[in-house]
Amino acid sequence: MLSIVIRGWMQFSVGTTIFTLTDDRATGEAYCLAHHVTVDGGKRRLMLASLRYLDSFVKMDGAWLFAERQLFVDWLEERALS
């Protein structure tokens, strides 16, 4: 049996967000920069990703809910850390 333990952390920074509202529907676009650091055996790696979310919302009983979410990866970079 193979057992793999990878530790690390992640951080998401949300940047520009754009929303368009109507009475009970909305669309949104949000940009995000994701940092993922993994530690595997003493080796650390960094993965950076530029993400974009395209969302649709619906208002039901006075609350805004997600109707649909699409995720796009605009670019991705990986590198070793010292």
User: Would you say 24 and 59 are in contact if contact means Cβ atoms under 8 Å apart?
Assistant: yes
Whether residue 71 is contained in a domain is answered as yes
Residue 13 lies in a domain: yes
Q: Within a domain: residue 62? A: yes
Domain holding 75: CATH number? 3.10.450.50
Which pLDDT tens digit goes with each residue over 36-82? 998 888 889 999 999 999 999 999 999 999 999 999 999 999 999 98
Structural domain including 74 reads 9-81
The number of domains in the chain is 1
**Residue 27, domain member (yes or no):** yes
pLDDT of 54: 97
The whole-angstrom separation of Cα 38 and Cα 22 is: 42
CA dist., res. 2 & res. 46, Å (int): 24
